[in-house]
Amino acid sequence: MSTLQRETLSVGEKIALLRIHNKITQVAFAEEIKAGLDRVSKVESGKGEYTEIQVKAAKILFKIVGLPLSERERVVFIERLYRWRDAIRARDMDEARKIYKEMANIDNLEPCDFDMVMLCKIFEAYMLMVENDLAAAGKILNSAASKLERMNNENQYHYYMNKGYFDYLQGHHEDSLVFYQKAEKLLSSNEELLPEDDAILYYNIGLCYSYIQIPYMAIHYFLKARQIYPENRKNSWYQYLNFNLALNYIKVNQPNEAEKLLNKCTVRAEGAKDDFMIGLSLYGFGHMHKNAENWTIAIRYFEQAIDYLPNETNGYFSAFYHMIFCMIKARLFSKARDELEIAQAECKNNELWATYFQSLEHFFSISKRMSIVNYIASDYIENIAIPYFRKNHDHFIALEYCALLEQHYEKIRRTTTPINIKAMIIDIQEHVFFQKKR
């Protein structure tokens, strides 16, 4: 942990700031701590110090019993704050709540220890996010944003990290990326600043690029995280890193690299009896074979993934979607129709996936009769499905639907619309692969 940038204040100076902040006169304060007015004046002018009994009385008065006033106490308290952060990160919420109770009335210290108070508030927002109280976390982060310029570099870094996480949890991945990049900029200009956080920051940036489907940048940051963080067989975080890296290798057509990582994930997941990671690994293998147009093999992997992934989760519906897609491409229309009906019944209360499966129904309709004009399905795909996928950053699915329309329009000899589709394909590819040349 780096040393926080601040001026050193004596205990007497801190107490003076607290007295002024609480609008207590020297006379009233002297009576409260049972000290003479002369002593209070001398201490506040830097010519003396209070006794231990008087310091204790001041702490009681300002409701900060047990919180730091001396430099020694401050160092201990900062270390405690980071233990709190580590407990939250480890999802040890009993320990985190225990430490949180020790922070009661910390706001009273803001006049004399602004940076420490702000660090506490930022970690409180982090705890609330982990506990899924986003409304309360958002209020704290909004308040902190108004004081950002006053914060030291370390606290600004933590603010950006947690604001990035806040936006990530709400699915605002582009906004999240902006804040993570600000944290990265701080990190690069302050090399001594929390080096143990580098891997987590790079992993989070990689996730954001992965969600908005810019795979080359996602791979770049996942690899940076791997270089810093030592591989740990028992660490689930490393498993997710390998899995996400594998998915992006598939998108840039590097199946050999993806296969190595997915095999590693599978072995470790089976050893740990981690059904969820087994399901994700099978899902990854499904995508690898889908990308290679090995439709039958891909279907088998997606079917197995569905058995492991929790029902009605995004991973579950995504595996369902891609399985049906592969069935359509393999021209297993009867089976695809049956599975599509099951999927639509299961996701009827999920607006996102209901739209995906409705789009797949039109994909099915055109694929089954490619050379027959189908204005309803083609118009739906072009004007509703593709824009919806792009809005949700599912650019690779959008490309698959563009390719279908391009093939369909060529079959029915429609010459005007394919120009629009070709332009759309170029536009999507520029977004997805624009970082490849960098």
Measured CA to CA, the distance from residue 202 to residue 180 in angstroms comes to 9
What integer pLDDT is reported at residue 4 of this predicted model?
Answer: 35
pTM: 0.84
Q: How many CA atoms lie within 13 A of 216 on its CB side?
A: 10
9: how many CB neighbours lie within 10 A of its CB? 17
Residue 74 belongs to what H/E stretch? Answer: helix 71-89
Q: What is the pLDDT of residue 365?
A: 95
Q: What is the pLDDT of residue 217?
A: 95
C-alpha–C-alpha distance, residues 60 and 105, integer Å: 11
Distance from C-alpha of 294 to C-alpha of 299, rounded to nearest angstrom: 9
Look at residue 203 in the predicted model and tell me its pLDDT.
94
Q: How many residues does the chain have?
A: 438
Predicted pLDDT of residue 7? 44
**For position 438, what pLDDT does the model report?**
42
Closest C-alpha among 276, 204, 215, 269 to residue 247: 215
- Find out whether 289 and 297 touch, Cβ atoms under 8 Å: yes
Give 280: exposed, middle or buried? Use CB within 10 Å, 0-12, 13-18, 19+. Answer: buried
- Looking at residue 11, its pLDDT comes to 82
Kindly give the parts of the chain with pLDDT less than 50: 1-7, 437-438
d(CA 233, CA 245): 17
H helices within 330-391, ranges in order? 333-346, 351-368, 375-380, 386-391
Quick count: other Cβ atoms within 10 Å of Cβ 382? 18
